[in-house]
Amino acid sequence: MIEKIRSYLLTISFIVIAGGLMLYMYILASGDGSSLFGDKEGTLQATNFEALVYQSDDKGHLRCDADMCTKANADAGAEIFNVGAGKLRQIVADHSDDAPLVETYNFDFRKNQFDFLERLPGETFPTVISVRISPVNAFSSKMALYVYKPVGSNSRETMEEKAERWISLLQQRATP
């Protein structure tokens, strides 16, 4: 008799736990119709640097000049590269093609802007990395960079480390 009750309780516990996990995954996947990853179809909007509202104590990391990010209080200025904007665009494209954990979800040729999703091992949700390249002169360019996670663990230090890693890798590729 006790064995029968125990097996019923274990079965009911398993069903409740499985149902809770399914409900949790459903909420993460669909949200309330205004998901942090975009609309109901899951589209993620490209970063609009001009309209971006960001404070330096927000989670994420923003490197952008005040003339581009007029509504944001960036963590640092845009990174300067000693290559032209066209060459830097090719370096960024090559980096994303060579990195198996990076997926390009948007490229705006007119704005010279890439938006990437990067999911490192152990991460449940991807990090959004937005890059905008602008020319300084014929031989140098600058790159605005915004790194954040719409969902999941999002410490400032982690986002800053990711931004520094991207800048370091791109600077290495830009160095002849």
Decide: helix, strand or coil at residue 167: helix
Given this model, what pLDDT does residue 171 score?
A: 92
Q: Is residue 145 part of a domain?
A: yes
* Structural domain harbouring 151: 61-174
The whole-angstrom separation of Cα 126 and Cα 150 is 8
Predicted local distance difference test score (pLDDT) of residue 35:
46
Q: Virtual CA dihedral for 71, 77, 81, 86, nearest 10 degrees? A: 0
What secondary structure, in 3-state letters, does 78-145 show?
A: CEEECCCHHHHHHHHHHHHHHCCCEEEEEEECCCCEEEEEECCCCCCCCEEEEEEEEEEECCEEEEEE
Please indicate, yes or no, if residue 4 is contained in any of the structural domains. no
In a domain, 22, yes or no: no
Give the number of domains in the chain. Answer: 1
Phi, psi for residue 107 in degrees, rounded to 5: -140, 120
The string of pLDDT tens digits covering residues 11-26 is 999 999 998 888 777 7
Cα-Cα end-to-end distance for the chain: 78
Decide if 155 is inside a domain.
Answer: yes
- Residue 116 resides in a domain: yes
Q: What is the pLDDT of residues 56-75, one digit of tens each?
A: 767 888 999 988 888 888 88
3 in a structural domain: no
In a domain, 110, yes or no: yes
Cα(53)–Cα(72) distance, integer angstroms: 5
In whole angstroms, what is the distance from residue 39 CA to residue 46 CA? Answer: 13
Give the CATH number of the domain where residue 119 resides.
3.30.530.20
Which of the residues in the chain have pLDDT under 70?
Answer: 29-43, 57
> Is residue 28 assigned to a domain?
no
Q: What is the pLDDT of residue 8?
A: 87
